[in-house]
Every structure is written in structure tokens, then in C-alpha cells.
Structure 1
Amino acid sequence: MAEFTTLLDRLTVMIRLGIYAHEVEPQRVTISVEMTVDYPAPLGEDAIEQVLDYDFVREGILALAAERRFALQETLCETIAALCLSDTRVKKVRVRTMKTDIYPDAGIGCEIVRTRN
């Protein structure tokens, strides 16, 4: 087995996220994803076909941001984690979301770790 960590770091999206009246409109959220990926053997070639193509994660998150409203960051994190785990090579995923504009001096976020059973 060959284990790699694939990262999607600080993707910034405008998303409808929150429970308060001032959060009705889309707000800026930064999302980071860390996936532990198992391959059957060390890579023999320098070819995208041999590894996880992280485009599906980025595109999936962008689609969620465009199509869905989330009340809680926890639910957003769970949804993104499930997206990542839909690729059976992903054995563990860490998802972090951060609302960057709620407070003038700090971000407010959530982080979860999920593993394949």
C-alpha cells in the first residue's frame, strides 16, 4: 500500500450558511480539506489516472455553495466529508470551515475528522 495526503486548502466560496437574520445572504467561507488516500502500490508513473483527482472535491463544494443553504457549519462539514469518502480510496478526511467575516478580529469555524469504517 502507498498512502498519500491530498489537500484542498483555503478554498473561498460564497455560501448561504447560518441561523441568524444577517446570514440570509451568501457569506464568505473558507474551506480546507485533507484526505488520506490509499493506493494499492507506490506510484509507478507520473499519470493522473493513478491518483485521486481532487477536482471532484472542489467542484462538489462549489456546487453545494451554489445550490444549497446550510444552517450549521457542522452540517456543511459532514456533507463535504461524505463527498470525499465517496471515493473508496479515501480512508480518512479532515474538513475545516471558517466564516471569515462574522467578527472583525477573528474567524469562526468548525473542523471534523471522519474515517471509513
Structure 2
Amino acid sequence: MSNTLLTPALARCRRLFLRNHVVDINIGAHAFEQGHPQRVRINVDLYVPLACSTPVDDHLGEVVDYDFVREAVRERVGRGHIQLQETLADDLLRALLAHPQVLAARVSTEKPDVYPDCEAVGVEVFAFKDGVTAGALGPQA
């Protein structure tokens, strides 16, 4: 079980996820990385209160659409070269938390082609929306 599920604020949330979304990104701080897109694998978890993500009429408008996550990635990547994975993860996290229904989010980025002796190098970040604390029951409690 994920430790985040033990957090009271997330107990009444639905977790939406995007797994292993692979995009070619102009990313890297080293000179040899400039101008050469690299594969980056992105994983996202969104925590949305059940009270605003449980469909009644089985319509897409009643939930957070997965296209929102892919669009956030596309928009950030489209802005141009990114030096650091930390910057990419932080920018995505801010964009995802801006959605009115998202209470918390986790973003990880991985570069799978950096070193021949490991699967990937990456970074992960997790945050609650401003004004929500880990011990809170959240706005929909």
C-alpha cells in the first residue's frame, strides 16, 4: 500500500494516474545534451476528492479528464529547452495542482538512456494544493 494512502487528507480521494508516458524532450544541463531531444518517461498521480469525482450520470464532465494531464505535459515541453528534470517535475506539479478538483499530485520524470548500467535516472515530487495539509481531511470531508 502506498504511504500516501495513509495520509488522512487523501483517504476520501480517487487516485488517477498516467503511467510511463514517454516523450522526446529537449532537456539537459550538459553541452552534449543541447539540441538533442532525449526520451523522458513521466508518471503522474492525481488525488481528487470522491465528492467531486464520483460520476452519477456516467459522463466525462463529472470527472477529471486524463487529457488534462497529457495536455499539461505537452504545453510544458512545447515551451522549449529544460535544463533540469527537477524543473520539469516542478512545473508539471504546479500545472496539475492548478486544476480546481485536484487536491494533491505526484510527478516523476525519468531519463532511461543516460547511463548504460542503470534503468533510469530521475526525480519525483509530491505536493498538496496550497491550503491543504497532510493531516487535514480535505475540503470535501
Bigger CA radius of gyration = 2
Structure with more strand by fraction: 1
- Aligned mates of 2:71, 2:101 — CA distance in 1: 18
1:114 equivalent to 2:130? Answer no
Amino acid at match of 2:125: I
**What amino acid sits opposite 2:49 in the alignment?**
D
Q: Deviations over 1:45-83 (max 9, x none)?
A: 211110001202102212322332111111100100011
Calculate the TM-score normalised by the size of structure 1: 0.91
Structure 2 partner of 1:75: 87
Runs of at least 5 residues in structure 2 that lack an aligned partner in the other structure: 1-11, 132-141
Distance 1:104 1:66 in 2: 28
User: What is the aligned partner in structure 2 of residue 17 from structure 1?
Assistant: 27
How far apart in 1 are the matches of 2:104 and 2:15?
Answer: 9
- Correspondence 1:98-113 to 2 at 5 A: 98-106=110-118, 107-113=120-126
CA distance in 2, matches of 1:92, 1:22: 36
| CA contact 2:104–2:128 (8 Å) conserved in 1 | yes
Structure 1, unaligned runs of 5 or more? none
Is 1:43 the equivalent of 2:50? no
SS in 2 for 1:90: coil
Identical-pair percentage? 34
Q: How many residues align?
A: 117
